[in-house]
Amino acid sequence: MGESVRGNHPYVGLPRSAYWKQAVSEVSPLHLDGLYEPRFTIDGDTRISAAGSCFAQHIGRQFKLRGFRFMDFEPPPPLLDPADYPAYSFDLFSARYGNLYSARQLVQLFERAAGEFTPLDGAWSESTPDGERWYDPYRPIVEPRGFGSLEELERSRAAHLDAVARILPSTDVFVFTFGLTEAWRNTADGAVYPTCPGTIHGEYDAAAHEFVNFSYPEVLADFEAFLARARAVNPAMRFLVTVSPVPLTATASGRHVLSATMASKSILRAVCAELYNRYDYVDYFPSYELVAAHPMRAMFFDPNLRTVAPRGVAHVMDTFFAAHPSPGPAAAAPAAASASAEDDAVCDEAILETFGS
Amino acid sequence: MTVFLCGNSQLAALAEGVAEGRDPAAGPAGGAVVDGELTIFPLGNGKHEPTAFSRLTPEGVVFEPRQYAANLQRYAGRTAIAPGDTWGFLTINHNVRIYRDPMWKTYVPSALDLPGTPVTDDLLATIVARDHAGVRGLFAQLQEAGVDFFAVSAPHPRQDGTAVRNGVPRPVIAYLDALSRSLWRSWLGERGIGLVEPPPSTVTPDGFLDAAYGAGPDSDGRLDPHHANAAYGALMLARVREFLTTR
C-alpha cells in the first residue's frame, strides 16, 4: 500500500506557464510567455501555403512581408496596382479561393481541383444595368463586378483550379485557419458555399439550399481527410492550424449569436486540440486565445466586439513571429521591364529629334 | 484664336505632318511648329501620364513634371493653362505602356482563345483605367477651370513594335489597345470632351498601324518601333482641323 505524502503530486514543480496565477493573473496579457511553443521550425526555406477564414489573410500577408517563402500559385497580374489586389482577391492566400470558412470547403476545393467533384450549382447570373454578370458560387467576390460571361467565369475557374492543384506538391507547411461550423450547402450534392446564396450574390432557394452546422466529428473527419490527401501527395508536409477569433456575423442555428459563436469556436478549438494530439506533424497556434480569451478583456476587438483591431492583429502576428524569426527582408519587387526603359528612351529621342528640346 | 496642340512623343508625327506641305506658311517658331491657328509643341515623355502630373491652381492648371512645365513656358509662354485659348492634348491611348509588359507572354485576356492565364475584362479595365489616371485627372481639372480643350488619340500599335518583337501575341496587343480606346471613348463621351481619333485608313483590319504610316529610322539610322510618320501626322492634323471647324 503506497504511502501518501502531502506536497508531492503532479502539480508540484511545473513550469510557471502551468499555473493560472503565475501565467495569467499576475502578468500582463500582452506578455503571456510560453503560450506558443512551435512544434517545428519555419524558416526561410520552408514553402508555406495558407487558406482559411478572413483572419487567415493576415497570416499570409505577414509571411510575405517578413521575407518567408510564402507560396502564391495564382499571383496578381504584374500590371495590376497593389491597391486593387484585395478587390480581386489577389495576394490573400496561396490561390484566389477567397475565404474558406469550413474544413468541408477545404476538402471540396481540393476535390474539385483534382477533378473528383464538380458541383451541380456551377454559376450564378444577375441582371445589372451593365448587362448580365456571372458569379462563381464558390468564390462569389473574387471578381468584384462579376464575370462578363459564363465562358469567362469558366476559363477563370479552370485556371484557378489548376493553381490549386499545384499547391500540395509544392508546400512544406500548410496553414489553415478554422473559421465557422455553420455553413450552407446544396441539397443535391452537398457542395458547401462560402456564404449563404442570396446574401452577396445568387438567390436563396429553400429547396436547393440547406443550413448545416458541422459537428465536432464532422469537422475532425473533414480535416483528417484533407491531411490524408495532402500527405499522400507530399508525405513530409506539416500543418499549422489556428482558429479565427472573429465571432459569427449572424447565426442561422436558432440560438443567440453569442451562444452560437461560443459553440462554433469551441468545436473548432477542440478539433485543433485533437489534431495536435493525434498527429505530430500538426501544430496549433493560439490566435484565438491571443485575441478572444477573457484575460485579453476584449482589448483587441473593435468597438463592435467582432472585428479584430489592427493592434490585435499585430499582437497575434508579433507572437507568432517571435517564435519564427524572420529570415530577412521581403524580396524586392522585380525590376521594371527593360522594354519599358527602351520605349521611354525612344520617346525622349523622338521629342528631341523633332523639336530639339 | 490660338489652338495649342501638345502632348507626348506621339505628337512628333503631327509636327512632322505640317512639313508635308499642307500649309506653306507653316514653320518652326521658337521650336514649336506653327500651322495656321495651330501651335504644336511637346509636353514631354508620356511616362508621367499614369499618375497625377497636374494640379488646379487659382491661375489655372499647372504641370508637376519639370519637363512639362518648362515646355509649357517655352513653347506656349504660359505657366498655367487657363481659359482663353483652345487646347488639344495628345496624351491618350499611349497604350504601349500596357501591352509591352512581359506579363502578356503568360497572361491573356480571357476573351481571347489563347493559352495563358486568363484575365477578365473587368480586371483588364481596372488595369487600363489605372494607366489613364493622370490624364483623367488633368482633364477633370481643365473642365473645372473652364478651359476649352479636346483629346487627341495616339496612333494604333506598330506591327514591328517592341511588344511584337518581344513575343507578346498580336491579338493580345490589339485587344488591349482596343479596350483602352473604348474606355477613353466612353469616359470622354460621358463628360462631353471632344476626341480626335486616328483615321480608319491608317489602321489594319486586326487593329495595328498600317506599315505605311510607321516612322522610319531616325537621323542616326536607329530604328523607331514606336511612333507614326509624317504622312500619318498630316492625316491626323486634317482630322484635328475638321474637328475644330465642325464641333
A174-201 pLDDT per residue, tens: 999 999 999 999 999 999 999 999 999 9
pTM, two decimals, is: 0.88
Contacts of A78 in chain B (CB under 8 A): 101-103
Closest partner residue to A78 (CB to CB) among B15, B32, B101 is B101
* Contact indicator for B237, B18 with CB cutoff of 8 Å: yes
What confidence tens digit (pLDDT) does each residue in A6-33 have? 778 999 999 999 999 999 999 999 989 8
Q: What is the mean pLDDT of residues A239-268?
A: 97
The least confident of A72-86, A202-216, A253-267, B214-228 is B214-228
Asked if A357 has any chain B CB less than 8 Å from its own CB, the reply is yes
Closest partner residue to A340 (CB to CB) among B100, B119, B219 is B100
What pLDDT is attached to residue A3? 61
What confidence tens digit (pLDDT) does each residue in A102-145 have? 999 999 999 999 999 999 999 999 999 989 999 999 999 999 99
What confidence tens digit (pLDDT) does each residue in A292-346 have? 999 999 999 999 999 999 999 999 999 999 999 988 765 544 333 344 545 555 5
Asked if A340 has any chain B CB less than 8 Å from its own CB, the reply is yes
Asked if B60 has any chain A CB less than 8 Å from its own CB, the reply is no
Cell of A11: 502539480
* Contact indicator for B149, B90 with CB cutoff of 8 Å: no
State the best of B123, B160, B220 to mutate against chain A, taking most chain A CBs within 10 Å.
B123
Residues 101-120 of B with CB under 8 A from A: 101-103, 107, 110-111, 117-120
Distance between B40 CA and the closest CA of chain A, angstroms = 10
What confidence tens digit (pLDDT) does each residue in B61-75 have? 999 999 999 999 999
Closest partner residue to A354 (CB to CB) among B12, B121, B130 is B12
Contacts of B72 in chain A (CB under 8 A): none
Contacts of A155 in chain B (CB under 8 A): 110, 118
pLDDT for residue A2 is more than 70: no
What pLDDT is attached to residue A344? 55
Q: Output A293 or A347, whichever has higher pLDDT.
A: A293
